[in-house]
Homo-oligomer: A and B are copies of this chain.
């Protein structure tokens, strides 16, 4: 009894401890843990009691090592502080948790170098798969080099730059950027807008290209002109958008509306308009993309496209888990539709 339950403050309780206490073999305890029907009822009860008594905590790392399995998924996003991705991450974690997986988190802050580091570091923990929303400018070659072909990868939200490496058949979950931007543009056109700019984002990014394409499509379908100085690039955040606002009005004819790359840019643009005496939603129409929480609360509230990011997170997790369970299946590209939410920031053009 001397070596009994004294809380030996500094060693973890393992299978061996339980086995010794119950006077059975480690194998038997393991079988109990895994719920095997092989063990005798009575034995099982004794062991379970002892597990509880000693406060045993399963060591999944050891089990994974032996079984050559993994119970984690790496989630790497370009900007966790963006409410859109925070919602997305919540959805991912929800779905993964339900499936018995744990989320390894990494945020890259749009830095390609950090993305490489983060991926490499997370891979050392041997995740069953990776969900990646790439940093801007991240290339297929780089990602392939650090992730390799063994670990399933799901791309979310953005395509990778560079020629599509044929050897890297990744799954994708994308938003219907083109259709979204087309819807927004059509909405402005229906309000009577004719001089519509496309504002924000970097022309290099795939999502920006797609959104721009949707804008062009709608403009051309309506027979409206597109002035080259109506396309303004800026970093996809509020600060840079506000700073670039003036560029819209350098040349004439100045636009009276703007389809923005995303909500952050749209909100920034609106902030930039006020000091020029232009009131968005009255003198100038603005649309966004993402429907982040701020969108409904800004002044005026922002017309934008919603994609239910939390549901996208769950979907991403499920797509990846499918792939983990069936690595051989054909890679799939899923495009999730978006919905226009009309709010106060879109308006007809000024009377004259």
Contacts and interface: CB of A to CB of B under 8 A. Distances in A.
Copies of this chain in its oligomeric complex: 2
Contact of A65 (B9, B55, B61, B90): B61
A220 interface: no
Contacts of A267: 297
A72 interface: yes
Given A62-B65, A81-B310, A93 B72 contact: no
Interface string A92-114: 01100100101111110100000
Interface stretch (A34-42, A43-51, A115-123, A173-181): A115-123
Given A81-B90, A83-B293, A103 B102 contact: no
Given A57-B148, A94-B107, 12 more contacts: A55-B148, A62-B65, A71-B125, A72-B104, A75-B105, A80-B93, A81-B83, A81-B310, A82-B86, A93-B105, A102-B105, A298-B298
B59 A124 contact: yes
A176 B93 CA distance: 30
Given A61-B126, A102-B104, A86 B80 contact: yes
A93 B106 contact: yes
Contacts of A227: none
22 contacts: A57-B148, A65-B65, A72-B125, A75-B105, A80-B86, A80-B93, A81-B90, A83-B293, A85-B86, A93-B105, A93-B106, A94-B107, A97-B106, A97-B118, A100-B121, A104-B104, A104-B105, A271-B297, A294-B297, A297-B297, A299-B299, A299-B300
A150 B59 contact: no
Nearest to A148: B55
A29 interface: no
* Most chain B CB neighbours (cut-off 10 Å) among A64, A81, A267: A81
Contacts of A97: 106, 117-118, 121
